[in-house]
Amino acid sequence: MGGAVPALNPGPGGSSPAPPPRRWATGPVWLALQVALSGSLLALFLLPLFALFTYAPVGDLVSAAHSREVQAALFLTLLASGLAVLAALLFAVPMGYVLARRRFPGRAVVQALVALPVVVPHLLVGLGLFFLFLPGTPLFRFTQWIGFPVYDTVWGVVLVMVFVSAPYTVLASELSFRAVDDRVLEAARALGAGPATAFLTVTFPLALRGIVAGLLLTWARAVSEIGGLLILAYAVYPGGPYNGPVTSTVSVYIYDLFQFGDLADAAAVSSVFLFIAFGLFVLVRLGERSGWVPWRRGELVP
């Protein structure tokens, strides 16, 4: 019955329908290799998470989610990582702009320095900050005086998080600011936009997608930090914007549970945390797909 459908655009040759466009042929060995390699990596990504989810009974998950202690740790983690993202927005995005759009002596050195926190082992970050703010040093007195003490406070947590995670925002925003076409900017200027207006209406919106991607990486890196926190802010006491009970970030909290051999609770809290992190990620992706977020407008997306 296939022959009953007339071809929309019969070729000059006759009535036989055109063959489907030929796809790039992949040999079976090559295909099997690709599937096996990617599959192994995917398994490595997924199986530990599966093990985590299935170790503790669902009831433990629910009770973990309701526990005051867990809630305090979650709140502290989200608060501190949120502040770290805010700091990245305030400091790292302008830095990315400067690196992308300004020529100055020593620019290459600055670029190399920005990548430094990514390669420094995080325990050393904690140690470095610990030595920097040793009681008695001028910096210690200064932080006390301005009301941002770093030892075992939320500010210490934020400081460590910014140190290890801000480079991602610097690098991502540098790349996306550099990708903004100068001619589009010049068109805006000629249409009457001053430098500030052109930045706000053209440069920033066009770079926003890359900036957001950088901020997401920053956030992901910040919430998973533990090395630096173990040294600088192991436990966090109420103060600053955090006014809950004495607690620690989720990562340190889970580490503690593990240390004391409370594996079921460690698994349960980890699962709750995973749900939240994954949920936020899915929310952002859905937003991007639905088109209500402002940073993908005008793109050629299906």
Partner 1 sequence: MTSVWTVAGLEVELERFHLGPVDLRVAPGNAVAVLGPSGAGKTTLLRTLAGFLPMRRGRILRDGVDVADRRPEERSLGYVPQGLGLFPHRTVEGNVGYAMEIADRPDAAARTRELLAQFHLTDLARRYPSRLSGGEQQRVAIARALAADPGLIVWDEPWQGLDVLARQELGLVLHDLRVTERVPMVVVTHDPALAFSVADSFIVLSGGRVRAQCDATTLLKAPADPFAARFVGFENVFDAAALAPRGAPGLRAWLAERAGTEGIAFASPIYPAGPSARWEGTVRSARPGPHGLTVEVVADDLLVTLRVPPPMTSPIPGPGDRVRFDVDPLALQPLGVRGDPVGAR
State which of residues 17, 128, 205, 287 lies at the interface with partner 1 (CB under 8 A).
205
- In the bound state with partner 1, the residue whose beta carbon lies nearer, of 68 and 297, is 297
Site residue total, partner 1 (CB under 8 A): 22
Q: Residue for token digits 């526990």?
A: 67
Q: Does 181 bind partner 1 (CB under 8 A)?
A: yes
With CA atoms as reference, report the closest residue to 170 among 114, 219, 217, 102: 114
Q: Which is nearer to partner 1, 103 or 183 (CB)?
A: 183
User: Does 289 contact partner 1 by CB under 8 A?
Assistant: no
7 touches partner 1 by CB under 8 A = no
Phi-psi region of 147 (alpha: psi -120 to 50; beta: other; left: phi over 0): left
Residue 179 found at the interface with partner 1 (CB under 8 A): no
Rule CB under 8 A: say whether 298 interacts with partner 1: yes
Query: Looking at the chain, which runs of residues are DSSP E strands?
Result: none
Amino acid identity of residue 292, one-letter, is: W
Which of 201, 260, 282, 291 forms a contact with partner 1 (CB under 8 A)? 201
What angle (nearest 5°) sits at the alpha carbon of residue 102, between those of residues 96 and 108?
70
Q: Sign of the C-alpha dihedral, residues 193, 195, 200, 206?
A: positive
**300 forms part of the interface with partner 1 (CB under 8 A):** yes
- Judged by CB under 8 A, which of 72, 87, 202, 223 binds partner 1? 202
Least separation in angstroms between residue 205's CB and partner 1 is 5
Q: Which position among 11, 48, 194, 291 is part of the footprint of partner 1 (CB under 8 A)?
A: 194
Residue 187 interacts with partner 1 (CB under 8 A): yes or no = yes
Residue with tokens 């709750």: 272
DSSP for 200-251?
Answer: IIIIHHHHHHHHHHHHHHHHHHHHT--HHHHHH-SSB-SBTTB-SSSB--HH
Tell me if residue 265 falls in helix, strand or coil: helix
- What the block records as the tokens of 125 is 């970050």
- x/- mask, partner 1, residues 30-49, rule CB under 8 A, reads --------------------
CB of 193 to partner 1, least distance (A): 5
Interaction of residue 191 with partner 1, rule CB under 8 A = yes
Cβ nearer to partner 1, comparing 136 with 192: 192
Compute the distance between CA of residue 32 and CA of residue 245 in angstroms, rounded to an integer. Answer: 54
212 binds partner 1 (CB under 8 A): no
Which one of the spans 121-129, 150-158, 183-191, 238-246 is the region binding partner 1 (CB under 8 A)?
A: 183-191
Closest CA to 81 of 221, 226, 278: 221
Q: How far apart are CA 165 and CA 152, in angstroms?
A: 19
Residues at the interface with partner 1 (CB under 8 A):
181, 183-194, 197, 201-202, 205-206, 297-300
